[in-house]
Amino acid sequence: MAWGVFLGILLGVGLWSLVSLVPRFGRPRLAQRVAPYILDVSAEARAYHGRTTLNPLPVFGSLFSPMIRRLTTVLGYILGGADTLGRQLRQAGSRQGVDEFRTVQVLWALTGSALGLGLVLVSPAAQSLPLVARVLLVVTTGMAGALLRGWLLQRAARARLARMSSELPTILEFLTLSLSAGEGILDALRRVAATSSGELSRELAGVVADVHTGMPLAASLTALARRIQLPALTRFVDQVTGALDRGTPLAEVLRAQAQDARDEAKRDLLEAAGRKEISMMIPLVFLILPLSILFAIFPGLFVLQAGF
């Protein structure tokens, strides 16, 4: 039976591959034909024209894309929070859009449902459950897959924000040194973006690129703060834009901002140590202390058992 299922899957994939060669499925779509002619005026067309596909079976996309879109819409209604999801994608540094990420979540949900269905079909304990319970198990595993993908995105966003927060004091001090040496704020940002590596330096490189395309520096920094929504970075941007508007010397402003960032990092470290205090006691109480007691008592018990 297993070999029959395996060979049947191979036969099905082969037949679907042959069907994918039919002009109805292999012909270019309207968006593919129009995109090369509007690359200079449409960012969506450039992204659509520049992407590559590794899908050897385009018939799958042709047949199942309407169903995937409907499932994506339903999942968006259930989970909601498109603005929050877009912010998390920007904070995580992902180039996916909200719709694309919802599609990935649908695929994760389908994978979880498939695992739940396999568990229902294979496990005798699951087969003994009522039909409603088995259906709920499949639905629950599917929702767990979608929620797991969302949790991984949140974790990636928090980790990236933490790295950017740790990089901010060093970058501020570097900017202060560059400004004290007589460079302008744009030249200092360009130097930091070129000589340093990290998440925040890449974002500053994007700011410099936006300025070179004609966007004002204050507007580009404000867009960066709105996109990342890191409190320390937002304060930095507010102080820089305020100094540019009022003509205040930037070196002193950035030096004070760097000191504030250092102090905030110290406070965060102390708070993290306080939160980890209980978890640090777990190996001490359950591992080190029992071993110490065992080494202290075992020789005496051995001597008593030996009759000395």
Whole-number Å distance between alpha carbons of 36 and 16: 29
Q: Which CATH architecture has domain 162-275?
A: Up-down Bundle (1.20)
| Predicted structure pTM score | 0.67
Lowest mean pLDDT among 10-24, 174-188, 195-209: 10-24
Give yes or no for a contact between 233 and 224, defined as CB atoms under 8 angstroms apart: yes
- To 10 degrees, what angle do helices 231-246 and 217-228 make? 160
Whole-number Å distance between alpha carbons of 189 and 251: 13
Cα dist. 159→64, 165, 228 in Å?
35, 10, 13
> What's the one-letter identity of residue 252?
E
Tokens of 276: 């980890």
Residue ranges per structural domain of the chain = 1-52, 162-275
Higher pLDDT among residues 178 and 57, named by residue: 178
Higher pLDDT among residues 45 and 136, named by residue: 136
Average pLDDT over residues 52-73: 56
Question: Residue 75 above 60 pLDDT?
Answer: yes
Return mean pLDDT, the chain: 80
Give yes or no for a contact between 92 and 101, defined as CB atoms under 8 angstroms apart: no
